[in-house]
Structures are given as structure tokens and as C-alpha cells.
Structure 1
């Protein structure tokens, strides 16, 4: 890890120095963030570090810490380590990163000021509540545009962390599948997932979606029922893991056995793999999204759900009833990583395709980008009711829709690296293959 992390830090330093020069700043200051408390309460929310901070350092539970970046200097890390008997304080600084930075340990948040107030014009990145006297985040838009645009392309160190995050999540997905097949409740499936990956709810990269039966038709289903249903027909689980602040984001749909739903699952699996293969350097990601709609239309036609051609379904917008979200997004330090709509590092935006408001990525793919590919096909009551009010309703087999609605829907999601040498690297499938 030392070599790849050292290279990673060197690349970030070079990018920061170039961005500072372009934007007329002399130094970059980054706040890790502070712990926040519920309104009128002394109960803290889960701490979420500033992603710019953890881009440089594998530190995710370190509020009140800071970074100072100056041309020609090692990064200065102001490391907050209070003398605290109410909570477990951060451990002594350790790891490869400590050898590559100038380290300052402080015991009180205000002590950071003396180590951050350097001469010149400062770009200070952080939330407003992280401010210290004389060190107030200004979040210059031109600088952030450059950093966010660059962040889409991962270094070797970052890819190592993301591979590890996939390897951490996959055994948990298999444990969740086993719990589902044993008839467990959503809550118990979630617990099986946590036990297998070694996470708690505190440190998951996002809240797990654990949806049985019709709940799979709720795209961001947010509950976990403690009572198992009388019949567990299908499980849609969207759950990830993280390593050193880098996330994996994986979705699998499992069936307890039904001929028509299993046929739908098989067709979606084949479509998803074909879409993964479209992740190539120079490809406009929007084209993959539009390709997904064509594939969904073909599945609906072949299974007899909609008796219209692919072209007719696309022209009438039928597929948006069954596939209403985007094909995926950038992933890395954040599950939905920043910079997805940027045409360049000045902040110019690439528009979403007309009629597709929920797509989260509109960039042309370049080597080192990591994206999700997550086609879905769902039976969502509110959208189906709208479809019934259109001329296309006459072409829908509503009895078949009623049957498949009992399973909620299908989503299959992999994390995929765009590579310079052609075929993409599928982090998710590689991790599943390692468990076989």
C-alpha cells in the first residue's frame, strides 16, 4: 500500500498546486468537519467526514481535524486527539500516511488555528460550522470545479480500496441471500448482512435497502420490517461496504422460485452484463442509459408484458414506467460521487437526455472512472396507474403485471472500472468470483 498511497498523495499534491495557481490561491485548507447534534438534544448524528479530507487521508472518524496544502511543502495534518473519558478518542496517528505528512497533534479544536493561518490567499473547503476564528470556509467554486472534475478518475491506491470494499460486501450479500431463503425477516436479513461484513449501521456507506416481495418496487425502500412475511417470494438488497473511506454499492435480486419471475431475472442478468461491457473509454455514459431502455423494452416484449415493439415502447415512453431511474453514477469517496454532470473542469454541465430526469452521470467515460451499472425493472403501483391512462395500456398484459407485482421488481448493480485497454474491470463480479 505504501507505494500506491505515496503515488496517490503525490498526484493529489500536483493537482492541488495546479488548481491553486489557476485560481489565484496560495494554499488549500481542508476541514474534516465537526460532530453535529440533534436539535434540542445532546445526541450526535453519525459523523460524515468532508470527502475532500478523506481523499488525502484514510481517516473517517476524525472530527475537528484539518489539512493544509501548500506548494513545495508536505501536507500538514492537524490531528485532533482530545483527552476524553466520555468517548473513545482517536487513536495515536499510525499507518503509511504518517511518514508522508507533517503531523501536528492538538487536544482542543481551537488549537488548529495557529497551524492553519499561513501567509497568502487561502482556499478553505468545508462546511460553515467547521469555521474557526480567522479560518472560515470560502469554498471557491472555480477551485472546487477543478477538484471535483479530477476526482472522477481514480488512482491506483483508490482502486485498491474500492476492490477491498467490494470484497468486504460480497460475503454479506451471500449471507443475506441465505437468510432470505431461510425465510428471515427484512431486519434479520439486514443483521445477517452486518455480521458477515463486519459493519454496523454507524459505518455503512449508505443505509441498506432490504426489500422483500412488493417492497422491491420502492426504489429507496427505507424500512426493515421485524416480522417475516407469510411468504418470501423475492429479495432485492442494495447494500455496500467501505474501506478507508471508499465505498462499494452492490444490488442483487434473489428469487424463491417462480417460473415467470425467474425468467425476468435471467433476462435482466444478461442485459446487465451486456451493459457492463459498454463501459469503455470514449463512450458517452448517456448512451448506456438509453441502451438500457432499449434492453428493458426488449425484455418486456419478449416476456409478453407489453405487446409493442422496442421502437414503439421507446417512442411512447413505456419503458420509463418500468425503469424510472438512471443506469448509474460515479462512485468512490461518496456513493453518489460528485462531478457527474461536468463537461469540463470549469463547471460547464452536460445535460441529461430529454425525458430522463433521474440520470446521475452524463460524462464521457475515461480510464480510471468507476461507475455503477444498475438496470432495473419494477412494478410500481403509482407509475402503473399512470400507464393505464395512456393509449399504450391496451398493449399491456395486466394479468401478468399483477402476477409479477407480487415480487416488486429486479435491480442488479455492479461497480465497474473504465480501463484504457478495452474491457472494463468489474469490481463486483470479481469479488463474487473470489467467493465461489
Structure 2
């Protein structure tokens, strides 16, 4: 890890925090890492998910009951680091690594010991901004999550530092290795569960490490946007694979989707058309571009594909858009912000006050409505699916005669296509950085 890049990252966060504190009338910022949660009426814990504000400062993702205090004018943030003496579970190791020198660290062995090291008087006076879930509270330290302060931090978080982009490049490389292994398993006739296992082995992750649950969908299952199961038995014929699967490094996520074919002329033509459209959409990721325009551009390209391939034969592309026929085949948004969270915060913010930038009319599932700025990391993930529920409505509607239902029936056996890359907006006039394609190219 480049220590200079991390130091610059921390300096940026410190400046953002100090500005936000001054503007919102607080003297210091306290961030809870979070606590381990247990299933109702059970002693089985859920997977620990750290407060993203905590891992924005620190590459620590498995450290509950810890706290980070940012004090304006102080040389180093204070980290209260929870390290219990535990023989039931493996406790966190002693603090080590490139990040340690940048923090004042105090070790605690019980959660309540944190109170000895944190500014209880500031909290009592209402001068301490505390970010965290309600259940992270200790006596005298109750998260207040000031909305104005969070808006300032969330808006700024849309643009990544070079340290953050370094982690995201590494996460992309990790995920791409696994996508290649998944494709090989698919072509060998593996089941969804076996493909998933091949993905995990190649990524070096276990299920608990993934930034989100992998979508591993064979054949018709590819028409379910968030298909959540993994069949143990291979289908009689594996025709197609849609795999939406990520990886993470130091708390930063990759989110990549690929669609693969076992060989069919019509489905392969659809794959080729979607590949071309996806690359063109990636090229639209430029500073100053309204991301909503990329989403609308996607629908125009989907209309062109539907017309060119003869899926919708007796209707103009303009009419398809006007009548929202394209939404039958692509009902989701073109993408979202990416970073500490797969669907990173701040996607709907018009400005740092938290004012909302609305979604385009008729497009309720778009997750990003901001104008792109240098350093923003976004996904570009066009899809074209054959979803029974939506096709049934189309068939019952006034435009059913425009559709080549024979071709739709054939392509429905393949579920659908989604191609997703992680893309960084660069300085004005510069082409985007495609983290995903760069990682695939590095594999050769």
C-alpha cells in the first residue's frame, strides 16, 4: 500500500470532517464501528457489517465495538480499538499495518471501557456529533447522526480519493479472476452451486467476505433480476449463465456482471448487441454529464436492439420509448455509485444540503441521479431480459402485435443478458477509467 496515498486520503477526510463540524456547530466527530447482532431468540450472530463511515477512515472490516474520534486541530484521530480476551472466537489481532502510524490508538477489552477514552462532557453538552446505529450506544454516548452533517459527508463521498480507487482496482482484479473461473465452470456443465464455489475459490473469499450475495443464474433464472438461490443439481442443458458477483478489498467493493452463452445464434446476437451498447454507454461517463441522461440513452439503445434483432418488429424505436416498451425488457436502472457500499450513499443528492435530484418520470428504479464529477465511481449495467410477468402484461396490452413472440419464446429459455462494469469518471475531457475491463485485460 502506498502510504503517501493513504496519508492524502486521511488528510482529505480530516478536512471534510472539520468543515462539516464547523458548519453544523459541533466540536468533534465520533464514529462507532457498530456491534455484532444476533438472530431473534438465538445465539447465532449475523455477519458483522461495519459502519461505512468507520471503514472510510480505516481498513478495518471485522472490528465491532470500536470507536473513532476526529478532533479538529489534533494531529491524529483517536482510535479506541476493541480487542477482547476471548477463547470462544478469534479476537482482532493487535493493530498493525500501513495505517497504524496515522492514529492514536487505545486498546480496550470490554465495550464499556471505551467511555474512559471518549469525550463524555462534549456529548452531554450537545457538542459531539456521533455517527452510528442506535444499538452502538454506550451510556453517555448515543448516536445523534446529525442530518446536515451527514449530508455534507455523503455528498463529498461521491468522489473517491486515489487511495480509494487503488482499493477498488484491487477489488476488481480479485472479482475478475473469479468471473473467469465461473465461466469455465459453466462451460464444463457445473450447477449454480458449483459455479458459485468455483467463484469463491478463485476470489479467495468465503460467503461471509463477499460485498453482496452472488447472483448465479443459469438459463431462465437469468430473468430474475436478483435471483437469490443456487441449485445444487445442474440443469439438463446449460444454455446461458448470468453471474452478478463482486469482491472487496479493505472494505471497498467491486460489482461486476457477465452473461455467457453455450452457443445459440439468436442469443449470441443479443449478447453481441448488448456488449456493443454497454461499451458505448461506458463512453458516456464524462465529467459534467447528468447520469440520468445515460439511463435514458440506455433505453434508446435497447429500443435499437429490439428493432434490429426483430424482437419488436412492427413499432418504431421512438414509439417504443414513448410507450415504454423498453421498460418491459429493461426494468431497472443503468447503475449506481460504488465504493464503501455496493450501492453507495448520496446517489440522489442534488447538492450537499441533501436536496433530491428526481428520477426521470417513468423510471422508478434508477439509483443515481447526480451530475458526474471527476473521481466518481459508478456502475454501467444495461440489461435485456425476458421476464414472464412483464411479458404477460405486454402481451395483454395494445402493442402485443408489434412483438415477435416466437423469438421472445426462444430467447426466454436464456433468461436475459446483463453486462456490468465499474467505471471511474475522470477530469473534464478525459475518457473514463474502466476498472473491470482493465482487470480482464490484465489477465490476458
Establish whether TM, by shorter chain, passes 0.5: yes
The answer (yes or no) to whether the contact 2:120–2:140 under 8 Å persists in 1 is no
The aligned residue for residue 426 of structure 1 is 434
1:118 Cα deviation after fit: 5.2
1:80 alignment partner in structure 2: 82
Q: Does 1:342 align with 2:349?
A: yes
- Please state if 1:277 is matched with 2:278: no
- Distance in 2 (alpha carbons) for counterparts of 1:160 and 1:116: 32
1:245 aligns with 2:246: no
Q: Cα offset for 1:425? A: 0.1
Map 1:256-267 to 2 at 5 A: 256-267=262-273
Aligned equivalent of 1:105: 107
1:390, distance to aligned residue in structure 2 (A): 1.6
Per the alignment, in what secondary structure is the counterpart of residue 244 of structure 2?
strand
1:417 deviates by: 0.2
Q: What is the distance in 2 between the residues matched to 1:347 and 1:95?
A: 36
CA distance in 2, matches of 1:171, 1:346: 40
Q: How does 1:16-415 map to 2 (within 5 A)?
A: 16-73=17-74, 74-117=76-119, 119-120=121-122, 121-307=127-313, 308-415=315-422
Moved over 3 A (4+): none
Q: Give distance in 1, aligned partners of 2:261 and 2:362.
A: 32
Look up the SS of the partner of 1:423 in the other structure.
coil
Instruction: For 2:215 and 2:118, locate their aligned partners in 1 and report how far apart those are by CA, in whole Å.
Output: 41
Report if aligned partners of 1:117, 1:134 keep a CA contact under 8 Å in 2.
no
8 A Cα contact 1:265 1:410, kept in partner:
yes
- Secondary structure of the structure 1 residue equivalent to 2:266: helix
Count of aligned residue pairs for this structure pair:
436
Q: TM-score with structure 2 length normalisation?
A: 0.98
3-state SS, counterpart of residue 106 of structure 2: strand
SS in 2 for 1:61: coil
- Indicate the SS of the match to 2:141: coil
Q: What secondary structure does 2:208 align onto? A: coil
Cα distance in 2 for residues equivalent to 1:325 and 1:349: 20
For structure 2, which runs of at least 5 residues remain unmatched after alignment? none
Deviation per CA, 1:39-88, whole angstroms, max 9, x where unpaired?
A: 00000000000000000000000000000001011110000000000000
How many Å apart are 1:422 and its aligned residue?
1.3
The whole-number CA distance in structure 2 between the counterparts of 1:154 and 1:103 is 26
Check the 8 A contact 2:80/2:105 in 1, yes or no: yes
CA RMSD of aligned residues (A): 0.6
Q: In structure 1, how many angstroms separate the alpha carbons of the residues matched to 2:330 and 2:251?
A: 30
* Secondary structure at the counterpart of residue 123 of structure 1: strand
CA distance in 2, matches of 1:378, 1:402: 12
Question: CA–CA distance in 2 between the matches of 1:210 and 1:198?
Answer: 17
Report how far residue 165 of structure 1 moved.
0.2
State the Cα deviation string for residues 216-263 of structure 1 (Å, max 9, x = none): 000000000000000000000000000000000000000000000000
Q: 1:258, 1:108 → 2: CA distance?
A: 60
CA apart distance, 1:208: 0.1
Shift of 1:97: 1.2
Tell me the alpha carbon deviations over residues 326-349 of structure 1, each in whole angstroms, 9 at most, x when there is no partner.
000000000000000000010100
1:110-166, CA deviations, whole angstroms, 9 ceiling, x for partnerless residues?
000121125530000000000000000000100000000000000000000000000
Which runs of 5 or more residues in structure 1 are unaligned?
none
Distance 1:116 1:380 in 2: 54
| Structure-2 separation of matches of 1:35 and 1:352 | 35
